[in-house]
């Protein structure tokens, strides 16, 4: 790993980010590695490995950008939950040691695509009229499946199942499953349930004959509007997340979401 090109991406809008990137730069320099520092708004390609300092939003933006070059990224959390990150500030020394020794794995995470947009977590589709429900006619491979009157629709990857989809009542899906999750947001019905489908399927969403305009968000960061049918499928790109060799999805659920922990135990 010492002969590889390293980048350090940081988010100057996050407290401590500048301080931590200097610490990481110094650690890598101690190993004879001259890493290049990158601003989250001025990303560049040409690296073999990129450290990302910030919260999940910073990691999501880097994951989309570097997926097209199949560059592994490693998250150092400065946000709140940090579900996509592998280390906190106190763990940086240990993380750098492990990475330079090759004691990590690179996990491919499937991504979504709609037109020229790609997403690691999810696409969220809502009507353009704020505060009003909209109609969402969902087809899978051209066949009608659901007809919702709802505040919106979330189409997520397994990686994104612990994000907005979870808050909207969707299931937690293990990241290495090849699946998509469709979750209605506040549907005006008692029978709507989230739907898990193979990632080989193509999802289309329309408003029927009314051609109502929709607002679509990509990982909650990029927004675009359309009045035509929205088509979502598996992207040709995969996010490359570097995970330390002792990483375990279930332990992350327990430690960050308190999964399966009784309220009494949390309060202690």
Which residues carry out catalysis?
56
Instruction: Note whether 73 and 241 are within 8 A (CB).
Output: yes
State the residue for tokens 């939003």: 57
């Amino acid at each position: 790993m010492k002969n590889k090109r390293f980048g350090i991406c940081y988010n100057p809008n996050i407290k401590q980010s500048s301080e931590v990137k200097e610490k990481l730069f110094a650690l890598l320099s101690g190993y004879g590695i001259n890493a290049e520092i990158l601003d989250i708004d001025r990303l560049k390609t040409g690296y073999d490995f990129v450290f990302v300092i910030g919260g999940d939003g910073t990691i999501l933006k880097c994951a989309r950008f570097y997926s097209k070059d199949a560059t592994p990224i490693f998250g150092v959390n400065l946000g709140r939950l940090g579900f996509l990150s592998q280390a906190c500030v106190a763990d940086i020394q240990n993380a750098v040691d492990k990475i330079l020794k090759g004691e990590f794995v690179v996990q491919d995470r499937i991504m979504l695509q709609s037109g020229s947009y790609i997403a690691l977590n999810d696409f969220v589709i809502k009507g353009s009229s704020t505060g009003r429900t909209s109609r969402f006619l969902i087809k899978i491979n051209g066949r009608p499946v659901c007809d919702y009157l709802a505040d919106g629709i979330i189409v997520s990857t397994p990686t994104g199942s612990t994000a907005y989809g979870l808050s909207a009542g969707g299931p937690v899906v293990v990241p290495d499953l090849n699946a998509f999750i469709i979750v209605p947001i506040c549907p005006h019905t008692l029978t709507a349930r989230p739907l898990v489908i193979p990632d080989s399927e193509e999802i289309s969403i329309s408003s029927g004959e009314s051609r109502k305009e929709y607002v679509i968000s990509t990982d909650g960061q990029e927004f675009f509007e359309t009045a035509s049918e929205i088509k979502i499928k598996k992207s040709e790109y995969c996010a490359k997340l570097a995970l330390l060799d002792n990483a375990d999805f279930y332990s992350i659920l327990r430690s960050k979401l308190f999964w399966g922990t009784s309220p009494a135990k949390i309060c202690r």
